Amino acid sequence: MTKLKDLISQAEDTLRRQQAAASGDSKEESAQDARMREIHAVWERESSRLAKLRETLAGKNQEIAGLSRKLDSVPSRAELMQYERRFVELHESMGQKLSETRKFYELFNTLSQVHEFMQKEISLLKSIDEQFPQHM
C-alpha cells in the first residue's frame, strides 16, 4: 500500500508540475500573443504611412514631369539661333527660286513673242507667195 500511495503522490506531483508548466506556458503564449498584436498594429500603421508617402511621392513626380515638359517646350538660345539661321537660308533659297522663276517667265514670254512674230512673218510670206505668181 505504501507503494501505491507513493505512486499516487508521484502522479499527483507530476500532474501539478504539468499544470504549473501549462499555466506558465499559457502566460508566455498570452505575452507572445500580445507582442504579436502589438507588432501587427505597428506594421499596419507603418504600412499606411508608407502608402501615404508613396502617394505623395507619385504626386510630386507628376508635378516634376509636368514642369520638365514645360521647360523642354521652351527653345533654348542655341535652338533659337539655329531656327533663325534656317529661316534665313529658306528665305534666301526662296529668293533664288523666285528670281529663277521670273527668268523662266521672261524667257517664255520672249519665246512666245518670237513665235508670234514668226507666225506673222510666215503668214506674210505665204500671202506674198500666193500673190506673186499671179502677177507674173
Closest by Cα among 30, 10, 34 to 18: 10
Residue 35 has what pLDDT? 84
- CA distance linking residue 43 with residue 55, whole number of Å: 18
Mean pLDDT for 86-96 is: 97
Residue 60 has what pLDDT? 96
Q: Per-residue pLDDT tens for 73-82?
A: 888 999 999 9
- CA distance linking residue 78 with residue 87, whole number of Å: 14
pTM: predicted TM-score of the whole model, two decimal places: 0.44
- CA distance linking residue 75 with residue 87, whole number of Å: 15
Range with top average pLDDT, 12-16, 37-41, 112-116 = 112-116
Q: Is the dihedral of CA 118, 123, 124, 128 positive or negative?
A: positive
| Cell output for 69 | 515638359
- CA distance linking residue 111 with residue 117, whole number of Å: 10
Q: Per-residue pLDDT tens for 22-63?
A: 666 566 667 788 888 888 888 999 999 999 999 999 999 999
Q: Per mean pLDDT, which range of 34-38, 66-70, 97-101, 113-117 is the poorest?
A: 34-38
